[in-house]
Structure 1
Amino acid sequence: MAGVQAVVFDIGNVLIEWQPERFFDSMIGEERRRAMFAAIDLHGINDEVDRGGNFHATITAAAKANPEWHDEVMMWHDRWIDMAAPAIDHSVRLLRALRAAEVPVFALTNFGIQTFEIAEPVYPFLGEFDRRYISGHMGVIKPDAEIYAQVEADCGVPPDGLLFTDDRIDNINAAASRGWQTHLFEHPQGWADRLVAEGVLSEEAAQ
């Protein structure tokens, strides 16, 4: 296996917690949240945003199409930054440690154009990658093979030189099928241990 030439981070649930169900449980209670998510494919609607659809227009259309849930659906727009929270501090430290070690660090994330603009001032580390591959700007989302192909064509690193972490196994499997090195993110300590094992960070730097 080739050595790691660049490290690729997913963002949601790797660098920033993304738990819409938890947010809605706190706002409307678990029972109503379950009913709403059963009635409306909110994650599928969010995928439209992540493919480049306009955030406000997409969520407003979903709210109008589901008048019985209109106000709750609009929370997805109006309170979005409260769903995308908090930062996963240890992961942020790992990102910065890799930068300090002069290891190229990329982002590969399913993220909308407007939602990323909302997140950037709240989470300054989103501006600290060497390269950012944002699905909304690319017009395709993970795990579609096309998004990985676009990264490969742009970054100049061979697939087996990329070490990619993501919290979703389907995204990991798609990358692995192209020859990328992969790590299924479950908690930041496991990711830290992998970076140490690959020799890109010292144990001290990975704390």
Structure 2
Amino acid sequence: MRLDALLLDLGNVLVRWEWRAAFAGLLTDEEAARFHAEADFGELNRRLDAGLGWDDAVAELSARDPWLGRMLAVYRERYPLTLPGPVPGMADLVAELRGLGLRLVGLTNWSAEMWPLAIPTAPVIGTLDGVVVSGVEGVGKPDPRIFRLASQRYALRPDRTLFVDDSPPNVEAAAALGFQAVTFTGADDLRRDLLARGVPVVAP
């Protein structure tokens, strides 16, 4: 099947994200794990990515447990530490794909406040044709609405677009909507996948 475009996740595809790094030197591993569990951080992060404001999130946790609220405020303040650098090999691959004439669009679950902090860490994000951000749109992956929004906004044909994400549920959702889709495990594996699809990138 012909490939005209890639729809790329950002976190842990173009830029590394490690939530624990925000607490480095402040909390022990056990304390960080306690925060993650008691704050239900996975669900809280999903809500932030879907548009919940950070002030509201801090207030909500503080009402439940002042320590949790303080730790979320610390996490927010030290958020740049959670972005330690670009994903190895991806900037070169994106540049190569652009040179081949493919369109490149980002589709990320990220809060509206925090996602711009990723660009200085992984400047390749700024070279994309555009980025659809869940926290801006108020809906995130794997909801079909955000895939349709990206397709409409950037005139993407799902059957000619490869969706790349490190989350299998998101990949499954994209495939169900007719996208070509692959779970990201590293730049070299993505190169192999692209070669198998007939895209003449340099072999790893």
The two structures share one fold, judged by TM-score above 0.5: yes
More moved, 172-181 vs 73-82: 73-82
Runs of 4+ in 1 over 3 A off after TM superposition: 21-27
Show the counterpart of 2:128.
Answer: 129
Cα separation, 2, equivalents of 1:9 and 1:122: 17
Show the counterpart of 1:64.
Answer: 62
Show the counterpart of 1:97.
Answer: 96
Are 1:140 and 1:146, in contact at CA under 8 Å, matched by a contact in 2?
yes
Per-residue deviation at 1:22?
5.4
Per-residue deviation at 1:25?
6.2
Cα separation, 1, equivalents of 2:67 and 2:53: 23
CA-atom RMSD in angstroms? 2.0
Are 1:25 and 1:33, in contact at CA under 8 Å, matched by a contact in 2?
no
Cα separation, 2, equivalents of 1:58 and 1:120: 25
Show the counterpart of 2:7.
Answer: 8
Are 1:48 and 1:58, in contact at CA under 8 Å, matched by a contact in 2?
no
Show the counterpart of 1:177.
Answer: 176
Distance 1:41 1:49, change over 3 A: same
Q: Which amino acid aligns with 2:151?
A: E
How many residues in Structure 1 have an aligned counterpart in Structure 2?
203
Per-residue deviation at 1:32?
1.3
The secondary structure found in structure 1 opposite 2:85 is strand
Per-residue deviation at 1:181?
0.5
Per-residue deviation at 1:119?
2.5
Q: Which amino acid aligns with 2:15?
A: I
Cα separation, 2, equivalents of 1:192 and 1:132: 22
Cα separation, 2, equivalents of 1:28 and 1:62: 21
Distance 1:16 1:26, change over 3 A: farther
Cα separation, 2, equivalents of 1:8 and 1:87: 18
Show the counterpart of 1:145.
Answer: 144
Cα separation, 1, equivalents of 2:117 and 2:103: 25
Gaps of 5+ in 2: none
Cα separation, 2, equivalents of 1:111 and 1:188: 22
Are 2:161 and 2:179, in contact at CA under 8 Å, matched by a contact in 1?
yes
The secondary structure found in structure 2 opposite 1:72 is helix
Show the counterpart of 1:156.
Answer: 155
Gaps of 5+ in 1: none
Identity fraction in percent: 27
Q: TM-score, normalised by structure 2?
A: 0.89
Are 2:141 and 2:170, in contact at CA under 8 Å, matched by a contact in 1?
yes
Are 2:16 and 2:85, in contact at CA under 8 Å, matched by a contact in 1?
yes
Are 2:167 and 2:183, in contact at CA under 8 Å, matched by a contact in 1?
yes
The secondary structure found in structure 2 opposite 1:201 is coil
- Written as runs of structure 1 = structure 2, the 5 A alignment for 1:181-200 is 181-200=180-199
